[in-house]
Amino acid sequence: MADGTHWPGTWISASSEHAKGDHAGILQVMLKPPSPDPLMGSEDDKVIDFSTVDTRLPMLVYVSREKRPGYDHNKKAGAMNALVRASAILSNGPFILNLD
């Protein structure tokens, strides 16, 4: 990653059940869920006033589904299925953003 720490979805040296096409699922929560209380922006001398805007960020989660050799993982459809299942368990949020 940018700060030099190891990204859990990569492998320095591949081994059995720990390689690009052969690994368990990876789920990494990057931002914790927002608190139920709104967080209003500040009233600075800026062009846009955020003092009445809720500036909380939604929870951000990285999902890499399980892959095994010889098993059809359905490419993008499989990724979306895994993402929907993880989202339902973690947040049950109304929106999912899938970046490809």
Average pLDDT estimate for 64-73: 80
Average pLDDT estimate for 33-43: 74
| Partners of residue 28 on adjacent β-strands | 62
Q: Which residues are annotated as a binding site?
A: 75-76, 100
In this prediction, residue 7 has a pLDDT band, given cuts at 50, 70 and 90, of low
Q: Which residues are annotated as a binding site for UDP-alpha-D-glucose?
A: 75
Q: Which residues are annotated as a binding site for Mn(2+)?
A: 76, 100
Helix, strand, coil percentages in the chain from 3-state DSSP, rounded to 5: 15, 20, 65
Average pLDDT estimate for 39-63: 72
* CA pair distance 63, 79, nearest whole angstrom: 8
In this prediction, residue 89 has a pLDDT band, given cuts at 50, 70 and 90, of confident
Segments in 4-97 forming alpha helices (H) = 75-90
Is 80 exceeded by the pLDDT of residue 70? yes
* CA pair distance 6, 85, nearest whole angstrom: 26
